[in-house]
Structure 1
Amino acid sequence: MRLLVRADDAGLCDAVNRAIAEVVTGGIAGNVSVMAPTPTFDQAAAMLLALGADRTHVTAGLHVTLSSEWQSPRWGPILPATDVPSLLDASGCFFPSPADLRATGRFDLDEAEAEVAAQLGKARTTGLEIRYLDEHMGVGRVLPGLGERLRDLARREALVYAPDLARLPPLTSASAGPGPDTDLADRIRAAEDGTYLMVTHPGIDTPELRAIRGVGYPDVGAVAAERDGDRRALLSPDVRKACQDRGVTLISYTDLDAVEVPAPPS
């Protein structure tokens, strides 16, 4: 059994950045997706770089971000607003979701590709070695033509395009509630042989994270509860023991050319 564990949204806020640092140093996560336009991206990059020798097992990827779903914090593009006007709402930030952007009817594919290239450039200037590209809120799937542009960009930049590997069966992450670590450990022990993908969103249950609300999360504290559940599961000794008992090999996106990825359905 091989398991690719990804921790998303590095750069969202301090509580998320610290949680991701925890799960890559003391847990089972080895792939970290960074959001270059977000308020604490620089902190996230610095924390990953500060891992030093421990960073050798961490694979960083760009989490392509063209939406800003929370009431606070909100963010906009890396490029000047005048370069990407079709991507922005009246406040100068990204729209709450890719679907909202598509609904405007004025989405410009060239502007989107230019912004993604700028995000990749910003991530690289920190010293991070970006090895894969994935999509926040499935933006490449929602916006017509963007997926093809992102795939071409990844190819030109020698990056793994993660959505092409989404056919890997998911080993779904823990959710909020009692015993998420036990739930994940049981699923690991019960899984058949094969290669699995687990996408997680770690966070620490702090007042900062409890205050975040937005698309799909109208209740105060819901985001923090769910993300803290992911963090605890990834750090759980029971989960690590289940991986050991099951003979799990933790892999990164750069290992996937050496494993069998299921073909798309005919």
Structure 2
Amino acid sequence: MNLAQKLGYSEGDKLLLVNADDYGLCHSVNQAVESLLTEGTVSSATVMMPCGWSSEAASWSASHPEYDVGVHLTFTSEWDAYKWGPVTSDGDVSSLVAETGYFHKTSQEFEERAESVHVKRELVSQIERAIKLGMKPTHADNHMGSLYGLRTGKHFMPEVLDVCASYGLPFRLPRYLNAEQGVAPKEMEEQARAIAALADAKGVVILDYLVGLPFQLQEGESYDSFKSDMKALLGSLKPGVTELIIHPSIVTDELEAFHFEPAKRGMEYDIFRDRDIQEELGKQGVKLIRWRELQALQRRQQA
């Protein structure tokens, strides 16, 4: 029985989770994410607990438990004008920060320097902060892919899966790599299989596929070309459970003050509100599902 069948769907169904990453990054992002969740044009969102506007996001989620909101496990701080660091206040996480006291800027720096005991401590701290702020997280994922070992091969999946198992959270991890659509290189297929087996052993529900379009504005890219690319992506989805990542925001002075890609963030805010994209989902027979369905499956299997 495949994942779709375990969730109560047919073996050949194309099931899609559209997740709005970076909730809590800033007020402009929060406004966009909350609008999309309320409209039902995305499946879910995940909060960056170390960021300055995470409290607003967590408070909104606590007041609106009908929407699926998880934790965007964050271990990098990539912008120059806006920085953040660990939320852990009662233990050593020194390997997670640069000399400035903020998280490392890149995933490669994080992978090279982070110690697993510090990573696990901060994982727990970020989830605990979400819970203490009133959230009931439905899932977890990872900002900038820092925990997967994409840059150096040094990953932290055992720690992530242990924590997700203990909190009953399914995790953004693709069972199958789809190099032409995905966010991981083909040479990681063997490692992906091993980590998927580890997730199964620990009882953590994971995805079949993970896809997304480039996060940066491409040369000559317009909203129309972005929409065309999104239609092509939706048309190429395979049967099973796929997550598609977007990073929506309202484009404001706040966003433009620190973000390198404000125009692309605005496109990603508009894309699933677009009637053409909504019609394409129907045309392709794609069914939008929710992370809480995966969470319910995980908790049934763990019972």
TM-score relative to the length of structure 2: 0.72
Structure 1 gap segments, 5+ residues each: 214-221, 260-266
Q: 1:178 aligns with which of 209, 217, 223?
A: 223
CA distance in 2, matches of 1:48, 1:257: 17
Contact 1:174–1:230 (8 Å) recurs in 2: no
The aligned residue for residue 230 of structure 1 is 268
Secondary structure (helix, strand or coil) at the match of 1:32 reads: strand
Aligned length: 245
Secondary structure (helix, strand or coil) at the match of 1:70 reads: coil
| Letter matched to residue 95 of structure 2 | S
The aligned residue for residue 96 of structure 2 is 87
CA distance in 1, matches of 2:107, 2:17: 26
The aligned residue for residue 122 of structure 2 is 115
CA distance in 1, matches of 2:214, 2:146: 24
CA distance in 2, matches of 1:40, 1:208: 12
Secondary structure (helix, strand or coil) at the match of 2:69 reads: strand
Contact 2:24–2:55 (8 Å) recurs in 1: yes
The alpha carbon displacement at 1:227 in A equals 0.9
- After TM superposition, list the pairs within 5 Å mapping 1:98-247 onto structure 2: 98-104=107-113, 107-142=114-149, 144=154, 146-165=156-175, 167=177, 168-173=208-213, 176=217, 177-179=222-224, 180-185=226-231, 187-189=233-235, 191=237, 193-213=239-259, 222-247=260-285
Secondary structure (helix, strand or coil) at the match of 2:52 reads: coil
Contact 1:185–1:242 (8 Å) recurs in 2: yes
Deviation beyond 6 Å, 4+ runs, structure 1: none
Residues 224-233 or 139-148, more deviating:
139-148
> Cα gap change, 1:109/1:184 in structure 2, threshold over 3 Å: closer, same or farther?
same
The alpha carbon displacement at 1:21 in A equals 1.0
> Cα gap change, 1:64/1:191 in structure 2, threshold over 3 Å: closer, same or farther?
closer
2:60 matched to 1:47? Answer: yes
> Cα gap change, 1:156/1:25 in structure 2, threshold over 3 Å: closer, same or farther?
same
The aligned residue for residue 218 of structure 1 is none
CA distance in 2, matches of 1:88, 1:44: 24
Secondary structure (helix, strand or coil) at the match of 1:249 reads: strand
The alpha carbon displacement at 1:145 in A equals 5.0
| Letter matched to residue 184 of structure 1 | M
The aligned residue for residue 288 of structure 2 is 250
Secondary structure (helix, strand or coil) at the match of 2:261 reads: helix
CA distance in 1, matches of 2:281, 2:91: 50
Q: 2:50 aligns with which of 30, 37, 50?
A: 37
Contact 2:92–2:118 (8 Å) recurs in 1: yes
> Cα gap change, 1:187/1:125 in structure 2, threshold over 3 Å: closer, same or farther?
same
The aligned residue for residue 217 of structure 1 is none
The aligned residue for residue 181 of structure 2 is none
Q: 2:106 aligns with which of 97, 103, 123?
A: 97
Q: 2:30 aligns with which of 8, 17, 22?
A: 17
CA distance in 2, matches of 1:69, 1:75: 9
CA distance in 1, matches of 2:176, 2:44: 15
Q: Alignment identity in percent?
A: 25
CA distance in 1, matches of 2:99, 2:281: 48
Residues 104-154 of structure 1 show CA distances to partners (whole Å, capped at 9, x for unaligned) of 4xx321111111101000001122111212111112212735211111111
The alpha carbon displacement at 1:100 in A equals 1.1
The alpha carbon displacement at 1:46 in A equals 2.3
Structure 2 gap segments, 5+ residues each: 1-13, 178-207, 298-303
> Cα gap change, 1:192/1:79 in structure 2, threshold over 3 Å: closer, same or farther?
closer
Contact 2:170–2:295 (8 Å) recurs in 1: no
Residues 185-194 or 4-13, more deviating:
185-194
Residues 30-39 or 244-253, more deviating:
244-253
